[in-house]
Structure 1
């Protein structure tokens, strides 16, 4: 067992709560002590009594906050510097940053020897020469952790070899919240089946418009009394079998819509690369049938989700959607083999 691990989240967004829970639990399997650094009040969301919350940094408003990009980086740099003033990294065998961006890291004053979890970093350095240069400098003295083999291979191409793959991991399955179920039923109406698009942030807007206006998809939805619910603003010309939420869902609403949908739609663009889709991980964790764009980032999960989960265009989507609706109407049992997606940090032993 590793004597002591320091686990730091220098930003602590709500969207990272489940991710942090999963990875802390994985680290507790190999370490006698996992010491955490979070922002004030964040530890209660993690809710793990086995960890030691070593320090909680304050999040202070700044005049720079209104400056998009720069403002958030200045805040992160201040938080990272505050952490290093209150925590002596040298006391721990392993130090992990659960998030970082290259520019903030350079100005944080952190020394080498840290394990850095990559989220969107690889996509960033793939499109920016400046970020790539900085990333390479950081990698000379630190260890990079990525979620998949595509990211690992890309870093090898860039001559970065101290890289380990650690699975993103799966959240606990969602639950239906009764108070939110009425909202779901009202939006679903008298439809028998529901296809849910949970995210609007990363989607291919052109493809989504094609989906909601395509006559053959409309006819298929009508044939099986199915409805598409999209977590985005209304799109002009959409058919009557598509409903738009037009507002941000609360977490309880989101989990309820997810639990009670039959198919999850993930129409991401070809440019979505070198990162893991949270919606895909949620779909697998909740044993939901999936329709997602046929892109390299998703093909990594082909052995788990099957060939029929991918589509290239609206014709593909309509055909696969009909096949899945037939499966569902026939009450065909369905679940994923999830064990292979759990994060495993046993590779850390070789760094001691």
Structure 2
């Protein structure tokens, strides 16, 4: 019994000693590498955060935090020309919080990969960035270059990007500042997308959230399977689509295609043509139709409110289809207009109420269609 107690005490002392050494060895050890502005940093680590901040020095400083003394010896750092490559495989003695902290020149290109951790840039970057993580967030300040970022399980938060921007996450939100480059593709499988503005077109898709975009300076498509789509001040053509939310657009010069399976559509200050449809919701739109264009506005279950300038040269065809008792329904649903009607008809055969308006001799065409609800046509104020 005495021997057992002595053995247990010895094991406890040994464990405490090992723990003390490990904690000390896990402290960061700084290494510096001569890399000039315009060079490249490549990082491939099995686990850990990658943190980047900038300085005016022509060197890269690395502090590996949370890595055991055994692990420190296994960090591979290779300089080839003006490129630094850092690789590391996890050690069993590493702490739970591993971080690779870099201080780099302000102008540098990056290729960063971690299987489990965040990637974060604390300062603005002049260069291209490729960032890939399987289990963390990606965060940057402003980037003067191209950016490609992908995470399998986190959010992506970016500042202003002046180059191409290709961003994808499988389980988080995406937030971006101003975009001024070409070739912008944004996608997430389970979150919201927010973009402050873009001087060019944007392709944004999400399978489970909202899309909110400010100014758009080119042809764009905004598609979500489960949320609202909101955009403003579009110069170019735009496609907006959702399977379970509302569509809102304030300002567009071009062609607008919009579809929702279960929500309302609200559009203001539209100059061009539209093709918009909702399966179950109301539509409100202010439209100044482009010359000789054709616009179609329809809903299967909701009201339509159209506002056009009194000076517009257009022909408006409005139709209400009636399901149920025709005699009662034709007195229930109305086409109301501030313009003088050209022709109107109550068609008992196909159960429809029809009105036609030719404004200023006609020119463009606007088709309105709903079922079992009202249509209202107003003059712009």
TM-score by length of 1: 0.22
**Higher relative contact order structure (alpha carbons within 8 Å, sequence separation ≥ 6):** 1
Higher Cα radius of gyration:
2
Structure richer in helix, relative to its length = 1
| TM-score, scaled relative to structure 2 | 0.21
Kindly indicate which of the two structures has a greater share of residues assigned to strand: 2
